[in-house]
Structure 1
Amino acid sequence: MTEPATKSLPPPEKPAEPESEVRLSFFEHLQELRKRLIRALLGVAVGMALVGSFCERIFRWVMQPVLKSLPEGQQYLHYTGYIEPFMVYLKVALYGGIFAAAPYVLYQFWQFIAPGLYKKERKIVFPFLASATLLFYGGAAFCYFLVMPYAFPALAAIAGEDMKPILTMTEQLSLVLAMLLGFGIIFEVPVIIAFLSMIGLVSADFLAKYRRHAIVANVTLAAIITPTGDPFNLALMAVPMILFYEIGIVLARILGKKKSAADVADDAMAK
């Protein structure tokens, strides 16, 4: 009798490896964060060196919306000490370095979070960096060209025609820089929401569900960022924040990570 032919079993399949290549420990995360922060600070230092020799010109250009809002015959700012102009120009160099190094700083932030992402998510680095950089500069430009020319005259008119302001270099520079940076950050909201939705941390339904909470949080954050406590400046910052939150919901619905059939079934059972 012939022996029955034995069927060869297929080799066991190897478990699929996760697309995320690197898993760092807590201390390795701290070391990576330290490295990225140092590089970001070095980038800001290089930016400061580049704009350092133009501090006075940059200051006079940035102050144009303030100077144009002054009463007729008063086209200058005051300083209360001989050291104040030096400190003002030093602050201009610091913030100018931040604006100049913004793309590099954003890249260092991306490099810090990249090891925890999947390969397909790491491929979007350049579109997101380009979008984040353009929106940051766009927010600052929107503030300078469209908000400040109307905001400062409106604020000056509140005091009345028989009042004349005594504006110092330090206070007005702090106000202008806070507004520029604030609007730059506000314009980043859609990119941040779109990114979080693509990696599955938030969803359009979640954002829409907590829309009212987000409005309260946006107004509170705008009140903290806004250097003055008047409702006009608060509205100038809070309204774009709410608008960009709504745009973020639309982007999350388009670009968000789709739920699997198992997740849909679990949601249905939970309801």
Structure 2
Amino acid sequence: MSETVPQLPPPPSPEPEGEVKLSFLDHLRDLRVRMVRAMLGIAIGMGLVGGFVPQIVDHLMKPVRDALPAGRQQLVYTSAIEPMMVYIKVAMYGGVFVAAPWVLWQLWLFIAPGLYKREKKVVFPFLFWGTLLFYLGALFCFELVMPQAFPAMLAFAESDTLSPMLSLSEQLSLVLAMLLGFGVVFEVPVVIAFLSMIGLVQWRTLAKYRRIAIIVNVIAAAIITPTGDPLNLALMAVPMIVFYEVGIVLARILGKKPAADAAPAA
């Protein structure tokens, strides 16, 4: 009679090194602390750019003014409080741009306790590339997209019976939304790399749905860009597609290996 060999329980799954066990309420408290510190960083950034707001507004509106007919390159405001509200909005957005590294650092501190030592080593590359790509996205939009976009928008209404009278507040909102949108789009490789490192996405899945991602990227580019002409659409869609492909490469290199692949063959 053969003796039954007792089955040993499977080894426990590895946990992040130095992990601190926190309750749900503790996580909420930590999230609140990180959010408060991020907001304080943004407030300090607002203070730093506050003295330069008029110059910043003048520079941000340059692509809009350049698109207006010669001799009428002025923007208007329709209420006495509008310029003040515009300056406050620019100070807020300027604070976000200046404090972007600090905000990313607070985000990292919130998620770092649940990561492995190998994953924590990428904190500085994560902050560096995340910040750099955000700024490059905004710069790409301002230098290459806007000089093409605003003349294209005004060209739709070219007529002897129509004269543009653009509001400062409305045009500033459009400019800031475009800058923020391109900044976020340029973050795609960093986001994909991070999600792959913590095991939320796999490079094979990203590659499998590449065609769908291209369609989604083109639709998103059409929504974000204010014009529908092919040039401006391409200026937005092409970087999105390229960054998606870069994200796949980074996910393949840095991504967490599935258990079936990581375990040695029996």
**TM-score category (smaller protein):** 0.7 to 0.9
Contact 1:71 1:164 in 2 (8 A): no
C-alpha distance 230-16 of structure 1, shift in aligned 2 (>3 A): closer
Aligned CA distance change for structure 1 residues 219 and 262 (closer, same or farther; 3 Å): closer
How far the C-alpha of 1:257 sits from its partner, in A, is 2.6
**Aligned pair in 2 of structure 1 residues 76, 16: CA closer, same or farther (>3 Å)?**
closer
| Corresponding residue of 2:240 | 241
Q: Which residue of 1 aligns with 2:144?
A: 146
User: What displacement does 1:186 show?
Assistant: 0.4
TM-score normalised by the chain length of structure 2: 0.86
- List runs of 5+ in structure 2 lacking aligned partners: 1-10
- Equivalence for 1:4: none
Q: How does 1:91-240 map to 2 (within 5 A)?
A: 91-162=89-160, 163-222=162-221, 225-226=224-225, 228=226, 230=228, 235-240=234-239
- Secondary structure of 2:21 counterpart: coil
Question: Under a length normalisation based on structure 1, what TM-score does the superposition of the two structures give?
Answer: 0.84
Work out which of the residue numbers 30, 33, 38 in structure 2 matches 1:32: 30
Match of 1:51 in 2: 49
Q: Percent identity?
A: 63
Specify the structure having the higher radius of gyration (Cα): 1
Aligned in 2, Cα 1:239/1:262: closer, same or farther, shift over 3 Å? closer
Structure 1: distance between partners of 2:223 and 2:39: 25
Residue 21 of structure 2 is matched in structure 1 by: 23
8 Å CA contact 1:23–1:116 kept in 2: the answer is no
What is the root-mean-square deviation of aligned Cα atoms in Å? 2.5
Letter in 1 for 2:63: P
The alpha-carbon deviation at position 145 of structure 1 amounts to 0.9
* SS of corresponding position for 2:52: helix
- The alpha carbon displacement at 1:250 in A equals 1.9
Deviations for 1:99-138, whole angstroms, at most 9, x for unmatched residues? 0100000101111111111122111101110010000001
Q: 1:164 to 1:255 in 2, by over 3 A?
A: same
Residue 140 of structure 1 contacts residue 183 of structure 1 at CA under 8 Å; is this kept in 2? yes
How far the C-alpha of 1:211 sits from its partner, in A, is 2.1
Equivalent position SS for 1:159:
coil
Structure 2 vs 1, CA of residues 75 and 122 (structure 1 numbering), >3 Å: closer, same or farther?
same
Give the letter aligned to residue 38 of structure 2: A
